[in-house]
Each structure stands twice: as C-alpha cells, then as structure tokens.
Structure 1
Amino acid sequence: MLELRPNCECCDKDLPPASLEAVICTFECTFCKSCTSGVLANQCPNCGGNFSPRPIRPASLLGKYPASTQRVVKAGGCTPLARLPLSQGRPWYLS
C-alpha cells in the first residue's frame, strides 16, 4: 500500500492525501510538480526514474488506511541525479 507521504522531498511543500500536485517515482519518492518539472528535470534524484501522478486514496478509506505523517526532505536540497557523483549519495542500485 502506498505511504502517501505528506510533503515534497525537495521543497517541503505540504502534499495532503488528495493533492493533485503530488507525483511519485517507482520507489514512492514524493515530490511536487513544480520541483519535478523545474530543478529535477523530470528525473528522480534518488533512483533516476520518472514520475507519475500519485493516486488519491478515497477519503472514506483514510481512517482505516491513513496517510503517512513522516516528513522526508533531502539533506542538502535537490540536485538532479545525473549531476551527483557516486560519492555524494547516489543509491546503491545505481552504483
């Protein structure tokens, strides 16, 4: 089940469960549309993958299956993956 993370990992913008601004990669890294189309150039800085709109969980199911409250923000800001050398934290699966 998707975590529905509460914020953009790049700019820390709030992305509530019903947000149409939330996009995710295949590993559920969560960003806002502004960051993905801007600084990230539509490439996940964590895995190198692309983004898709995050599905919206029906409000009637949020009580039983709540969204995550744990905020994730990239230390040092968002740098597109292609610009990061391996020594600066590229994921193990891209090494």
Structure 2
Amino acid sequence: MKILVVNAGSSSLKYQLFNMENQTVLAKGICECIGNGGKLIHKRPDMTDYHIDTDLPTHDEAINLVLKILVSPEYGVIKSVSEIDAVGHRIAHGGE
C-alpha cells in the first residue's frame, strides 16, 4: 500500500510518499513560494535531490507538479498515480 501525505501551508506544499509494506519513504519534497514564483525540491533516497524553479501560481498547480514528478521516468518512484492507495492531509487546528 502506498500513501501520499501532504501538508499545505499558505505558500508551500510538503509531501511524502510512503510504501507501507516495508514502511519506507519512497520520495518526499516541498513546493515553495506558491503564488510568488515557485520552486520544487524533490528527494529520493537513492539519488541526488532534484530542484526545479517553475511558476506555481496556486496550490492546484503545486499538487499537479508533485503528481507529475512522482510518475516521471527520470525522477519518479511510481509508474502511475493509480498506485497511490490513499492520501492524507495534515491539518493543524488553531484555537483555545
């Protein structure tokens, strides 16, 4: 089972893709400066970090880029997004 976990901030989107069968992180990264330029840092355990400067006007564009890089022949770790069995989103609730 593969689980994609995301944490969306006001101008960033962090992600990790887990393989729960052996409890490993397949890939992780961050989209930064969403709405004000943009860049992606993608990390796999078996390769050098991949950096790309790109236009990320919205969080929609950021998540689309994350999915694209996860299935990329060169930098990806899965062949299809259909391999992702579940998605989790971190939510922090402020309050008293």
Q: TM-score, normalised by structure 1?
A: 0.26
Q: Highest relative contact order (Cα 8 Å, sep 6+), 1 or 2? A: 1
Q: TM-score, normalised by structure 2?
A: 0.26
